[in-house]
Amino acid sequence: MLISYVRTDSGKKVGVIIALSSKKIGYSLCNPLDRFNRSIGKFIAEKRAEKGKDYIVKIAEVINRRCDYGKPMSNICRVVQPMLDMEERAGRYFDE
């Protein structure tokens, strides 16, 4: 399992990205009003990763559309690039 954290510009952790394989990548993000909890974040990201890559790609498309139209959804726009980075990293790590 590969784990990466999503951070704000100031370095505060706000989310987790987990890769179980190059095709099973999941994420979780903390509500801006809540405090980040690493174990809960990992649990949610892992459950989403188990659903597979198609699930996460659909979510990424929605995130991109909302961020591109000038409706930023707080921390959710921060997860797009780290997810792409994790996909590349997982491809190298799991050698699939």
Kindly report the pTM of this predicted structure. 0.76
Distance CA 78, CA 17 (A): 11
pLDDT bin (cut points 50, 70, 90) of residue 60 is low
Structural domains of the chain, count: 1
pLDDT bin (cut points 50, 70, 90) of residue 69 is low
40: containing domain: 2-94
Stretch 13-24: mean pLDDT, rounded? 90
The chain-wide mean pLDDT, for the chain, equals 81
Stretch 47-61: mean pLDDT, rounded? 73
Q: Write the burial class of residue 52 (CB in 10 Å: 0-12 exposed, 13-18 middle, 19+ buried).
A: middle
